[in-house]
Structure 1
Amino acid sequence: MDDDVRISQAKIPTNLLENHDAVSFRVLPHGESLLNHFQRHEYRKSMEIGRSFHAKTATIPCVSGAVGLFRKEALLRQSDLHSGEFSGEDLQRTLLIHRHRNDRGVTFVDEEVYTHAPRTLRELYLQRVHGWWPGLWNNFHHLLHLAFASKVNWRLRYDSLYALFLVVTDPFRILALPALFSSFGRFWTFYIFYVLLELIPYLKMGRRESIVVILLSPIYGVAQLFTRVVAFFAWLYRRLVALTSGRRIPDSYKRAPLAHQAFALVFGLVALVGL
């Protein structure tokens, strides 16, 4: 559990670990700014729709890094498997459970806890570009395995395929943006369709956040798209630093020699220009 999590009246259902390897909570960011409303709507979709979808079959794809329950044995067997990287460590921890041959599943408990979320656009950018999305790329191979391996529950397979589809097709969506914004008709068609899609879960979840969140959701979505693409180069930079410096310890890019960091940075920039 992170030190900024507020449990309040939430119950800690340790009894669920008798039949499962891990338990996920309903995690929501607190705060009343518009940015907090965007994030809370985002979290709420993940918790109330995504987690509920997976709870029936104990196939929760990611136990939030903010708070979660794990069987001690499930964590100990990951000691030689987990990369130790901070980015995406919660996703990797959960996916490794699902990849284990004696997987007991990851379930969801409807107990609400609150966590601190980015309060400024800069903080949100740093969270996504240096944390969330590099973590997604770092777990690409685990998602690939769960998407195509045999004896994987269809809900988990679907979620893995969707995550893979998202990151693989992001560059094409970036390339399509100029054509989208160059036409008044295409732009408004996209905008209305996007808002209607966001309106469905918004109404289903009881209209908890400001309607402004839904009206501006296309902008938030495009911003997310850009951060995922930029995050790929953040992930590539870290991998190159680790490979060239020979440091395989967690987050080794922070302590690698400057020459290796410079090489990785230049290589990443060349790759970006090449795209």
Structure 2
Amino acid sequence: VTTGNGGQVTYTYAYQERFFSGRLGFQIVENRLGASYSSPTLRLGNTGLDFSYRIAADYIDALGQLGDIDTDPDLALAKTTDRIQLARLQLGAALTRSFPLWRPPKTASDPPPRFSALPIEQGIWLNTGVSSSQSLYSNGRVQSYTAGSIGIDAVIGAFVADTFDYTNLRVTYSNGFLAGASPFLFDRITTREQLVLGFLQQLYGPLRVGAETTVDLQSGQQVDITYRLGYDRRTYGFSLQYNPVRQSGALELRVEGLNWDPRQSPQKPTTGASVHEP
């Protein structure tokens, strides 16, 4: 349900819901009943800061541990787990800002879009963010995580020539403070310091390939990776994604109109901190 200010209210009942929990692997939530509110992204005056928040309340039936809790994945999985039923209140917020480091000058001779629906915005940006997630459980447990992130996002090429006219490179480092631990396994935070690396590269014409990987810097383990193959035209496109860690894939289709207006905003990658939502 969309609210008047652009927020989103969601009512959920899920049975045998599957979650990917990083180094803890896949976890199944037997039953989850709840509601959440996600705010729109709010620009804070002329500061350039974007703010968003999320509030959620759920009643959850899932595997967990009511005794001593360990955030080390190997130790956590070695301990006895039982199905437990608890209520959870979750509060999350994110504050982000992007700083342009370089942008090519725009000229009247810049070519119109060829493979994308809108012109590509080229440049290099420094993206920063702070996010916080507080989870309170009905047995008195609390899991609190506050993290900062910093990264570089570079887009080179207008995606109009036949070969190698688009390169997008992304590097994001995040680290935070973790206090407490969830009694459930599916939303227990185990990766506190991580590095995300990604790229998307045009090969020929509308064909682009890319990958994104997440590395847990504390253990040195690769906890996630996704490969992408995309085919883009101005009015339509599709992409294939495959994640060998999650053993999952996706096919996305895009259909758009031809009425591009030069006054429209160009395409720019979206990056930054996000509100934690397990």
Report the structure, 1 or 2, having the larger strand content. 2
Q: TM-score, normalised by structure 1?
A: 0.25
Structure with higher RCO (Cα < 8 A, 6+ apart): 1
Q: TM-score, normalised by structure 2?
A: 0.25
Report the structure, 1 or 2, having the larger helix content. 1
